């Protein structure tokens, strides 16, 4: 067995991958992914591929990371951290995905037993990385046979020990911070996310070009309360990794939480363009492709660019006739629901129905059809669609609904049925129940998890019942959860006007005019806002 007595030190290497970059025609230009310092015992010849793999790992581009780590271990068959890195690509913690068997297979290629693998690690630090990933995949006595959530906790603790033993190792610090987020991602608690932020700030302060430092801090701060703290990282991350699609999209987590719709749209337009450029061929669709388009559609809707949103929806509908993946069908349903509920464009809703016989595995789709039926006064059709709303779905967690989210959808429909039947008190009570149920759910970043935010629905029901003062309060509450959401801002302006609060109404209308600076010329809300502010 070959052993090394020296440590090869990598300092300040910027990894690049020569690939076509959008806008450059057929020219080749470097892919910039960030800058890290990760000393290790691998051979000098394998360093570029290894560092590139780590950078891809921090940017959540797991396929490309795996390919880079494989190249590194093929160059140096005893490169312990290359096997570690390949295994880590099968742990996608914030996406709630882990392929434990594939992770174990990757480590098994280094050596068949823990002892064999440990013997190839020439330093305590590298053994620490190896032991942590073995804990993660259930390959140690204490983690064997445990379910993933418990292994995630043990892995977090192992990374904490590695970080404490090597406080100057920014990779250990970054991955320890990420492991804290991974344990807390299923049930978001501010205290947990702020603990992660405190750890990750060490990376950010030490290296402002570290992709993990910026990326994971954005995840720590991407809620309306803390998002302003993440704005410097969002501004920086797109420049740290300018050709990483996920890095471009990730900045919009902060922009969404702050209602910065122009920035959100620009981020996802860049991400979408880059993502299509790096796919292997026109028939390939990555896990992230539909994710970026979904956020982009929401951004277009908030900008009042309904024609652009409809174009995205039409393109997604076209995919339904081209052997779509299950997640593409699900994302189509979520996009359809988002477009329909936010625009109430009934004609487009009919034109954009999925082709007959195409299953749409997304709970929001039948909700939107029930919502449409109720708005048109057809209670029986609405009930038929409501019966099809189910837990789960396909795609990313943002469109896979929990039992709690489905409860909210049903309460909202019950409220609208009561309102249709003239039972205003019952409608208000049911809408309030929906608000309470939604408030009890773990917070999720991005476009509202419940396609019709419950606070917004409550405000609309109250306004229709003539309770404008209560509606105004409900709109204010909703806007603390979804800052600068235009449907709620427009409702706020109307409710404030109804109670003769000219200042608040005018402020809301002016903000809408600002947000809708690039809106479609015929946008009804924009005409209303301009008329309301024209005499000021």
Instruction: Return the domain boundaries, the chain.
Output: 13-219
Q: What is the pLDDT of residue 12?
A: 36
Q: What is the pLDDT of residue 444?
A: 83
pTM (whole model) above 0.85? yes
| H/E element, 452 | none
**What does each of the 536 residues of the chain score in pLDDT, given as a tens digit?**
333 333 443 333 344 333 333 333 333 334 589 999 999 999 999 999 999 999 999 999 999 999 999 999 999 999 999 999 999 999 998 888 899 999 999 999 999 999 999 999 999 999 999 999 999 999 999 999 999 999 999 999 999 999 999 999 999 999 999 999 999 766 677 889 999 999 999 999 999 999 999 999 999 999 999 999 999 999 999 999 998 999 999 999 999 999 999 999 999 999 999 887 655 444 445 556 889 999 999 999 999 999 999 999 999 999 998 888 888 999 999 999 999 999 999 898 889 999 999 999 999 999 999 999 999 999 999 999 999 999 988 877 788 899 999 999 999 999 999 999 999 999 999 999 999 999 999 888 899 999 999 999 999 999 999 999 999 999 999 999 999 999 999 999 999 999 999 999 999 999 999 999 999 999 999 999 999 998 76
Q: Which two tokens stand for residue 376?
A: 């048109």
Q: What is the pLDDT of residue 277?
A: 65
Q: What is the pLDDT of residue 32?
A: 87
Measured CA to CA, the distance from residue 94 to residue 72 in angstroms comes to 26
Q: What is the pLDDT of residue 15?
A: 40
Q: Is 396 helix (H, G, I), strand (E, B) or coil?
A: coil
What is the number of residues in the chain?
A: 536
Taking alpha carbons only, the member of 212, 208, 207 closest to residue 180 is 212
The 3 state secondary structure assigned to 283-309 is CCCCCCHHHHHHHHHHHHHHHCCHHHH
Q: Residue 146, Cβ neighbours under 10 Å: how many?
A: 15
Burial class (CB in 10 A: 0-12, 13-18, 19+), 247: buried
Going from the C-alpha of 473 to that of each of 134, 438, 483, the distances in angstroms are: 52, 17, 15
Q: Which two tokens stand for residue 289?
A: 């492709």
Q: Which residue has the tokens 């999209």?
A: 249
Q: Residue 120, Cβ neighbours under 10 Å: how many?
A: 21
DSSP codes joined into one string, 1-34: -----S-BPP-SEEEEEEEE-TTSTT-EEEEEEE
Measured CA to CA, the distance from residue 424 to residue 406 in angstroms comes to 23
Measured CA to CA, the distance from residue 309 to residue 518 in angstroms comes to 13
Residue 295 and residue 256 in contact, taking contact as beta carbons nearer than 8 Å: yes
The 3 state secondary structure assigned to 128-153 is HHHHHHHHHCCCCCCCCCCCHHHHHH
DSSP codes joined into one string, 241-288: STT-HHHHHHHHHHHHHHT-HHHHHHHHHHHHHHHHHHSSSTT---TT
């Amino acid at each position: 067995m070959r052993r090394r007595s020296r440590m090869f030190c990598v300092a300040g290497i910027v990894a690049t991958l020569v690939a076509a970059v959008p806008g450059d025609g057929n020219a080749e230009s470097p892919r910039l992914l960030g800058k890290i310092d990760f000393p290790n015992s691998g051979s000098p010849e394998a360093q570029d591929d290894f560092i590139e793999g780590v950078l891809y790992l921090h940017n959540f581009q797991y396929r490309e990371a795996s390919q880079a780590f494989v190249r590194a271990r093929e160059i140096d068959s005893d490169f312990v951290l290359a096997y570690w890195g390949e295994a880590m690509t099968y742990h996608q913690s914030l996406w709630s995905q882990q392929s434990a068997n594939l992770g174990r297979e990757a480590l098994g290629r280094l050596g068949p037993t823990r002892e064999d693998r440990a013997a190839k690690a020439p330093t305590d630090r590298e053994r620490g990385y190896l032991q942590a990933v073995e804990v993660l995949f259930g390959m140690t006595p204490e983690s064997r046979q445990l379910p993933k959530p418990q292994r995630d906790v043990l892995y977090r603790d192992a990374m904490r020990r590695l970080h404490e033993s090597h406080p100057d190792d920014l990779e250990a610090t970054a991955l320890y911070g990420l492991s804290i987020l991974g344990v807390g991602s299923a049930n978001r608690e501010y205290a947990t996310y702020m603990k992660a932020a405190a750890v990750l700030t060490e990376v950010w302060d030490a290296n402002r070009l570290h992709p993990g430092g910026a990326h994971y801090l954005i995840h720590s701060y991407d809620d309306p309360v803390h998002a302003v703290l993440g704005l410097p990282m969002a501004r920086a991350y797109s420049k740290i990794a300018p050709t990483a699609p996920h890095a471009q999209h990730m900045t919009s987590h902060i922009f969404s939480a702050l209602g910065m719709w122009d920035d959100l749209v620009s981020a996802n337009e860049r991400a979408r363009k880059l993502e299509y450029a790096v796919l292997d061929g026109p028939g390939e669709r990555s896990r992230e492709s539909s994710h970026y388009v979904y956020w982009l559609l929401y951004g277009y809707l908030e900008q009042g660019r309904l024609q652009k949103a409809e174009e995205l929806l039409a393109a997604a509908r076209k995919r339904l006739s081209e052997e779509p993946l299950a997640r593409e069908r699900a994302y189509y349903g979520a996009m359809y629901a988002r477009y329909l509920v936010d625009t109430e464009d009934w004609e487009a809703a009919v034109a954009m129905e999925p082709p007959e016989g195409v299953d749409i595995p997304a709970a929001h789709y039948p909700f939107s059809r029930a919502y449409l039926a109720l708005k048109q006064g057809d209670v029986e059709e609405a009930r038929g669609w409501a019966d099809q709303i189910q837990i789960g779905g396909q795609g990313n967690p943002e469109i896979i609904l929990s039992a709690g989210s489905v409860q909210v959808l049903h309460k909202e429909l019950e409220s609208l049925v009561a309102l249709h039947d003239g039972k205003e008190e019952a409608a208000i009570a049911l809408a309030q129940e929906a608000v309470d149920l939604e408030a009890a759910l773990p917070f999720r970043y991005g476009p509202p998890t419940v396609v019709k935010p419950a606070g917004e629905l409550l405000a609309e029901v109250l306004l229709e019942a003539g309770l404008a003062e209560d509606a105004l309060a409900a709109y204010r509450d909703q806007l603390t959860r979804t800052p600068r959401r235009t449907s709620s801002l427009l409702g706020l302006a109307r409710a404030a006007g109804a109670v003769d609060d000219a200042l608040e109404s005018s402020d809301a209308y002016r903000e809408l005019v600002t947000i809708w600076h690039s809106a479609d010329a015929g946008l009804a809300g924009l005409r209303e806002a301009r008329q309301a502010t024209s005499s000021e």
